[in-house]
């Protein structure tokens, strides 16, 4: 433990949380080896400290240490930045350039936000991890490098793999040892310590008395969610140090500097729908579509008989049951649609197309003929589609991703439909 405390003092790490101490212990243990390390944790938890600890305690400590933010480099130039390029490899390549992996030979490279790497670059990185070989952009000559790779990410890598955004083989190569840093909200006892350190630093920087928190303000500080973690806490401490004339910070004063206080309350999160629920709703959707198709065929049959006989009253008498069936179903659909519309906000801009309540309200003699049937068919399909889209959006409180998954369409298609129907 004394070793951990010495490392924390050396690198300015504040806190005594057991999870934090365990992460530092793992960094100390893995440092003398050449094992690849993946540092995980939310944005702002201080992941950049771990690779520095690893490098300083390794046999590579006299070699170069290069930190690369993979998310900040444009996709078109990241291969050139990491692996270098030959003269004339692309427009603007006026000279041969060495990449980070060539420059850091014998040292350590820290790949921050590694989850943002494009897939082609991931293939090149995997090759370096496997045998230390790489190719410069525009070159056919294989080069060797001896580099220790420490990567970090705030993404859920398993989800990224499932979505095809990150290679599974590369993930297992990078995460030989996984070091997780806890978010600040899980280190409640450390929050006030960090605040006092930041307040002291800013007091020296701006040559002002140090701000201090009253007891109720300390409680609020420890209960707040801190979605931005240490970075957000430091920002709040700086604002208070600069803006507040009274150096004793009360509860209400601190509260004014904490956005979205609702984040401190328990959030009710609905369970995700299971696959069986999705499949059952798809089956319902298919049934509705098949029923619509059958009704359209019945309408076409009725229209053809009208066209052949020319006697509307005879056909209407013979097919009265069919006509009643079709319009009774339409009335049911209208009632469902009315229920949805009644539940919508008053400023809703969706226009509802009325459907006749009975067959007598429609002049069946005016089927002139195929054009009107096709028009009604398209209208009916649009109404069904609109109804399903509205139900899904209301169900998921406007979250397009969840609604699109339930409807079995892409989020992009759903967005186009929302614009089309002016939802």
Is residue 253 one of the residues assigned to a domain? yes
Q: Which residue in this structure is represented by tokens 């053809």?
A: 304
Out of 158-167, 268-277, 302-311, least confident range: 268-277
Distance CA 236, CA 321 (A): 73
User: If 0-12 CB within 10 Å is exposed, 13-18 middle and 19+ buried, where does residue 233 land?
Assistant: buried
Tens digit of pLDDT for each residue in 295-319?
Answer: 777 777 767 666 666 665 655 555 5
Whether 315 and 401 map to the same domain: the answer is yes
Q: Is the pLDDT of residue 23 over 80?
A: yes
pLDDT in the model for residue 319: 58
What are 163-187's pLDDT values in tens digits? 999 999 999 999 999 999 999 999 9
Looking at 161, 182, 203, the residue that finishes a domain is 182
Contact between 149 and 38 under an 8 Å Cβ cutoff? The reply is no
Q: Name 46's Cβ contacts closer than 8 Å, sequence gap at least 6.
A: 13, 181, 229, 230
41 Cβ contact list (under 8 Å, min separation 6): 47, 152, 154, 180, 181, 182, 183
Range with top average pLDDT, 166-170, 276-280, 368-372, 410-414? 166-170
Note whether 97 and 231 are same-domain residues.
no
SS3 state of residue 29: helix
- Tell me the torsion sign for CA atoms 130, 131, 136, 141: negative
pTM of the complete model: 0.62
Contacts of 118 (CB under 8 A, 6+ apart): 75, 78
Residue 270 lies in a domain: no
CB 7 within 8 A of CB 52: no
The secondary structure of residue 90, as a DSSP letter, is: S
Task: With CA atoms as reference, report the closest residue to 158 among 178, 139, 130.
Answer: 178
Average pLDDT of span 108-118: 96
List, for residues 340-380, the tens digit of each pLDDT value.
Answer: 444 444 444 444 444 344 444 444 444 444 444 444 555 56
Report the residue count for the chain.
423
Last residue of a domain, one of 114, 148, 182: 182
Domain contains 71: yes
Whether residues 28 and 174 share a domain: the answer is: yes
Q: In terms of domains, do 236 and 292 share one?
A: no
CB 108 within 8 A of CB 60: yes
**pLDDT tens column, 192-225:** 999 999 999 999 999 999 999 999 999 999 999 9
> Is there a single domain that holds both residue 202 and residue 348?
no
250 with 291, same domain: the answer is: no
**Among residues 13, 379, 421, which one has the least CA distance to residue 193?**
13
Domain count, the chain: 3
More confident residue, 12 or 262: 12
Assigned domain for 269 exists: no
Give the per-residue pLDDT at 104. Answer: 96
Q: How far apart are CA 355 and CA 335, in angstroms?
A: 10
CATH number of the domain bearing residue 236:
1.10.8.60
DSSP of 124-179, one letter per residue?
Answer: HHHHHHHHSEEE-BT---EEE---EEEEEESS-HHHHHHTTSS-HHHHHHHTSEEE
- Segment (H or E) for 68: strand 65-69
Q: Specify whether 157 is located in the same domain as 288.
A: no
For residues 72 and 116, what is the distance between their CA atoms, to the nearest angstrom? 9
- Residue numbers of the domain that contains 327: 275-420
> Both 23 and 163 in a single domain?
yes
CATH label of the domain that carries residue 103: 3.40.50.300
93 is written with which tokens? Answer: 């390549």
Distance CA 409, CA 282 (A): 11
């Amino acid at each position: 433990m004394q070793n951990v405390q010495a490392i924390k003092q050396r690198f300015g790490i504040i806190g005594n949380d057991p999870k934090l101490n365990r992460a530092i212990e793992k960094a100390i243990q893995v440092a003398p080896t050449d094992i690849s390390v993946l540092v995980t944790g939310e944005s702002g938890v201080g992941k950049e400290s771990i690779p520095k600890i690893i490098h300083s305690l390794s046999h590579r400590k006299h070699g170069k240490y290069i930190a690369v933010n993979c998310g900040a480099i444009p996709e078109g130039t990241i291969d050139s930045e990491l692996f270098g390029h030959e003269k004339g490899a692309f427009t603007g390549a006026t000279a041969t350039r060495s990449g980070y992996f060539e420059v850091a030979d014998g040292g350590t490279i820290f790949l921050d936000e590694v989850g943002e790497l494009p897939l082609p670059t991931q293939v090149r990185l995997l090759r370096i991890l496997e045998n230390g070989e790489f190719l410069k952009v525009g070159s056919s000559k294989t080069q060797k490098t001896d580099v220790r790779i420490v990567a970090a990410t705030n993404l859920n890598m398993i989800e990224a793999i499932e979505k095809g955004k990150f290679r599974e083989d590369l993930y297992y190569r990078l995460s030989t040892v996984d070091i997780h840093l806890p978010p600040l909200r899980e280190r409640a006892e450390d929050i006030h310590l960090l605040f006092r350190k930041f307040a002291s630093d800013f007091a020296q920087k701006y040559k002002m008395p140090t701000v201090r928190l009253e007891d109720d303000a300390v409680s609020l500080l420890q209960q707040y969610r801190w979605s931005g973690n240490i970075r957000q806490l430091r920002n709040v401490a700086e604002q208070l140090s600069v803006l507040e004339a009274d150096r004793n910070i009360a509860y209400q004063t601190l509260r004014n500097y904490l956005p979205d206080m609702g984040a401190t309350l328990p959030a009710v999160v609905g369970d995700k729908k299971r696959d069986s629920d999705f499949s059952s709703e798809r089956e319902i959707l298919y049934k509705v579509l098949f029923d619509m198709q059958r009704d359209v065929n019945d309408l076409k049959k009725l229209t053809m008989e009208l066209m052949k006989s020319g006697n509307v009253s005879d056909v209407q008498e013979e097919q009265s049951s069919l006509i009643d069936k079709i319009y009774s179903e339409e009335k049911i659909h209208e009632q469902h649609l009315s229920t949805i519309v009644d539940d919508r906000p008053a400023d809703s801009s969706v226009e509802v197309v009325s459907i006749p309540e009975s067959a007598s309200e429609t002049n069946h003699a005016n089927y002139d003929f195929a054009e009107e049937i096709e028009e009604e068919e398209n209208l009916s399909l649009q109404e069904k589609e609109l109804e399903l889209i509205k139900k899904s959006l209301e169900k998921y409180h406007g979250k397009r991703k969840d609604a699109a998954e339930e409807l079995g369409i892409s989020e992009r298609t759903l967005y186009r439909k929302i614009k089309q129907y002016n939802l």
